[in-house]
Amino acid sequence: MRILSGIQPTGDIHIGNYLGAIKQWLLLQEKNECVFFIADLHSLTVPFDPKILQKSITEKIISYIAVGLDPEKSIIFVQSQIKEHAELAWILNTLCPVGELERMTQYKEKSKKFKDNINAGLLDYPVLMAADILLYKTDAVPVGKDQTQHVELTRTLAKKFNQKFGKTFVEPKAILPKFGSKIMSLTNPKKKMSKTDNPQSYISLFDTPENIQKKIMASTTDSGKQIKYDLTKKPGVSNLLTIYSLLTDKPIKELEKKFKDKGYADLKKSLAKTVIEFLEPFRKKQKELVTRDVYIKEILSRGKNRAQTIAQTTMQEIKEKVGLV
């Protein structure tokens, strides 16, 4: 199977990204042909600072390697370095009804959040994402729950293209973790954990132990005292239990038993310790990698070449089918 996924470079990669997406990538790269990239073109659709964009992109590549993506096994690259993403997006645009884009949840949320910057790119975002996926004839896309609507649209566009121009694309499917596909914010457990929110609301994969401790101890919990998984009555505690369970591979039931006669502070203390220990190797590796400039450049250059070979071949086929040659 060919697997593809990506992350936007802006903001810190957090444990939501890890548990929803990256954890799956690490397993999938062992037995599949995997393509992982930094979606920098996507990040231009919301306000950003050109002075720090390049730095954020490099940081994210370092993060990919620090958490265990293996450049020997996976193709790792930066989206904007492969011009075929934008080229295919244009062609797919001509197949995509505007109405489909207007009903996308992410578009609705972001146009509310960035009222003064509802640009055409924000609306078109899912078509570029479809191009990312289809360009590599991807079979499956490991993502968190918030991205499933975009993968659905990708399937629709693949089908349309195939019907109009002849069988070209696989209809890719989204792969979601059974549990943890939507990790919630630490400060508002009714909202998704997001890199563009206040840093108190998420745990970055490279936060210091002190920060992790502070953020978890200050996280919003619920009324009552009992430590119980209940999404309606106890969204805060349920979110902490979810993170705990996913990082330790312990079932929720076992954790409920462990904390049966304990209070929220005990759960938080124990979770903070667990998170700190879990993230320690990532932090170490990241520290080492920031000093290895040449190595990172080599990874990117190799990834770019490998991605380009696939992208150019697909684009040539597409152009012939559409009658553009």
- For position 60 contacting ligand TYM by CB under 6 A, the verdict is no
Of the ranges 64-72, 88-96, 136-144, 205-213, which one interacts with ligand TYM (CB under 6 A)?
Answer: 136-144
Per the DSSP assignment, residues forming a β-bridge with 33 are 2
Question: Distance of CA 148 to CAs 6, 181, 284, Å?
Answer: 13, 10, 33
- For position 147 contacting ligand TYM by CB under 6 A, the verdict is yes
**Catalytic residue flag (residue 173):** no
Out of 33, 100, 146, 222, point to the residue binding ligand TYM (CB under 6 A): 146
- For position 235 contacting ligand TYM by CB under 6 A, the verdict is no
Residue 126 CB, nearest approach to ligand TYM (Å): 8
Nearer to ligand TYM by Cβ, of 182 and 262: the residue is 182
Out of 183, 203, 205, 318, point to the residue binding ligand TYM (CB under 6 A): 183
Burial of 42 (0-12, 13-18, 19+ CB in 10 A): buried
Which of these is catalytic: 23, 60, 110, 304? 110
Quickly tell me which residue has 């006669």 as its tokens. 261
**Catalytic residue flag (residue 110):** yes
Nearer to ligand TYM by Cβ, of 173 and 269: the residue is 173
Which of these is catalytic: 51, 160, 178, 195? 195
Which of these is catalytic: 192, 215, 234, 304? 192
- For position 8 contacting ligand TYM by CB under 6 A, the verdict is yes
- For position 39 contacting ligand TYM by CB under 6 A, the verdict is yes
Phi, psi of 39, deg, nearest 5: -85, 70
- For position 92 contacting ligand TYM by CB under 6 A, the verdict is no
- For position 137 contacting ligand TYM by CB under 6 A, the verdict is no
Out of 44, 170, 193, 240, point to the residue binding ligand TYM (CB under 6 A): 193
Out of 12, 25, 34, 42, point to the residue binding ligand TYM (CB under 6 A): 42
Nearer to ligand TYM by Cβ, of 144 and 189: the residue is 144
Number of residues that bind ligand TYM (CB under 6 A): 25
Nearer to ligand TYM by Cβ, of 8 and 187: the residue is 8
HEC profile for 18-38? Answer: HHHHHHHHHHHCCCCEEEEEE
Residue 136 CB, nearest approach to ligand TYM (Å): 10
Nearer to ligand TYM by Cβ, of 247 and 292: the residue is 247
Q: Which residues bind ligand TYM (CB under 6 A)?
A: 4-8, 16-17, 19-21, 39, 42, 129, 132-133, 141, 143-144, 146-147, 181-183, 192-193
**Catalytic (active-site) positions:** 110, 192, 195
